[in-house]
Amino acid sequence: MSVPRFWRKIPQRYNLEGTHCEVCGRYFFPPRNLCPDCRRDGKIVAHTFKGTGKIVTYSVIRTASDQFSALTPYVLAIVELEEGARMTAQVVVENPEDVYIGMPVKSVFRRLGTDGESGVISYGTKFVPA
């Protein structure tokens, strides 16, 4: 990810900021400018998610690219936030075998990675068991 794009995305990455359509009630993460259901009739407003949800599905990554090989095994999951929006995120657990579908989770602020040995350190949202 380029440095300018990284900085533009900080509010949504750091604070779980998305959007909400006041007409149909749907929530979106990442943010959208247009509701796919209501189209032009929809009224999109900014929304900060609570950060709690449940695991809809997950995968245990045992073999990863060089950038993530030190983290293996780790869990990537689709998390349905309490408001209904879904997002893909890492679930941080001691034992990946403890993760299950429907598991309640909460968001935490963690290091995502680095861009090279002396590059930008990226931080963002991961999840832990609630």
Does residue 8 have a pLDDT over 70? no
CATH of the domain at 57: 2.40.50.840
Q: Which residue segment(s) compose the domain that 59 sits in?
A: 3-129
- For residue 110, what pLDDT band results from cuts at 50, 70 and 90? confident
Question: Is 61 within 8 Å of 73 (Cβ atoms)?
Answer: yes
- Look at residue 30 in the predicted model and tell me its pLDDT: 87
- Look at residue 121 in the predicted model and tell me its pLDDT: 79
Most confidently modeled range among 36-40, 45-49, 63-67:
45-49
| Bridging pattern class, strands 27-28 and 17-21 | antiparallel
**Residue range 75-90: average pLDDT?**
95
Question: Is 23 within 8 Å of 38 (Cβ atoms)?
Answer: yes
76 phi and psi angles, rounded to 5 deg: -110, 135
Does residue 2 have a pLDDT over 90? no
Domains: count for the chain: 1
